[in-house]
A and B are shown apart, each in its own frame.
Chain A
Amino acid sequence: MIPTAYYILLGSGLFTIGVIGVLTRRNVLIILMSIELILNAVNINLVALSQYFRSVDGQVFAIFVITDAAAEAAVGLGLIIALFRNKETVNADEIDLLKW
């Protein structure tokens, strides 16, 4: 059997890659994809701990996280389409209407 700590380390590695993507990229689409990476890291942790505690509750929560990811992707991509129609850009640092 693989120690649960390995799975959690893998989850934190994937989470870090996602955070780096969110913080450093300019393309809004790639920022959204990085958020999907972060949610997948969460799912790895949930499944690993659900196996550790011999209970399916963690997997049920992973299903809720996937539902959330679907909702977030739909709304986020709708926002990107509306944004692109108005500003003709996909760069996060050019979208600064609310900046003081």
Chain B
Amino acid sequence: MLILIAFGILSAVALGSGVMVITRRNAIHSVIWLIVTLFAVGGIFLLQHAEFLFAVQIILYVGGIMVLFLFVVMLVNIDVALKQAQFSRQWQLGLFTAVLVFAQLVYVIYKIGAGLSLPTQPPGPEPAHNTQAIGQALYQTYMLPVEIASLLLLVAMVGAVIMAKRKFE
């Protein structure tokens, strides 16, 4: 019961601040609300006993990616953009499409929901050490994907430096 209340609060915070992210006029406010959303999603990870992912979410997302976002918003933010229209011309069509997609998702979840709302405890012991299990999976089963991900990060780093670099005359 207590866990259900925690889930309700966390998901309300996540969805509410998600709506705030896409409706704020000032991009800095959007970044702050996105940080609130990320904290709430981290809390939902914690609720599901994914402790390692919770730590990764806080350290990497909030501490790394969002600080990068804040820097760029402050570099790029112009007062002109605050006074202009915030939504594109075809916003009704976009909203309609997104709501249609959501309705389809809810329909499918409702159809298969009977299978998914079964008690979520099939036989088998709860993995006691989440971090240990993830570490073993990462470095044994998923060793090649980890290497590919590191290569991806290297390429992204070089790409970001090239993009942001001033052209030499």
Q: Do A and B come from one complex?
A: yes
Binding site for B on A (CB under 8 A): 1-10, 12-21, 23-27, 29-30, 32-34, 36-37, 40, 43-44, 47-48, 50-54, 56-57, 59-60, 62-64, 66-75, 77-82, 84-85, 88-93
Chain B's closest residue to A13 (CB) is B15
CA distance A77 to B141 in the complex (A): 33
Could you tell me the distance in whole angstroms from the C-beta of A68 to the nearest C-beta in chain B? 7
Chain B interface residue count, Cβ-Cβ cutoff 8 angstroms: 91
Question: Are A27 and B152 also in contact (CB < 8 A) when A12-B105, A47-B45, A78-B159 are?
Answer: no
Q: How far is the CA of A37 from the CA of B164 in the complex (A)?
A: 24
Could you tell me the dominant secondary structure of chain B's interface residues? helix
Option from A2, A33, A71 in Cβ contact (under 8 Å) with B31 = A33
Contacts of A64 in B (CB 8 A): 145, 149
- Flag if B89 contacts A20 (CB, 8 Å): no
B72 contacts A77, CB within 8 Å?
Answer: yes
Q: Is B9 an interface residue (CB 8 A)?
A: no
What residues of B have a CB within 8 angstroms of the CB of A33 in the complex?
Answer: 21-22, 30-31, 34, 69
- B38 CB contacts on chain A under 8 angstroms: 36, 40
Contact A67 B153 (CB under 8 A): yes
Which of chain A's residues have a CB closer than 8 A to the CB of B81? 27, 89-91
Residues of B close to A34: CB separation below 8 A: 21-22
- Cα–Cα distance between A44 and B15 once the two chains are bound (Å): 13
Q: Could you say which residues of chain A place their CB within 8 Å of the CB of B90?
A: 23
Quote the shortest CB–CB distance from A60 to chain B (angstroms). Answer: 5
CB-contact partner of A56 in B45, B85, B134, B152, under 8 A:
B134
Q: Which of B45, B98, B134 sits near A60, CB closer than 8 Å?
A: B134
How far, in Å, is A2 (CB) from chain B's closest CB? 5
**B-side contacts of A16, CB under 8 Å:** 98-99, 101-102, 105
The smallest C-beta distance from A72 to any residue of chain B, in angstroms, reads 8
Q: Could you write out 13 A-B pairs with CB less than 8 Å apart?
A: A2-B4, A5-B117, A6-B7, A6-B11, A14-B14, A15-B105, A36-B61, A40-B41, A66-B61, A71-B156, A82-B163, A90-B81, A91-B81
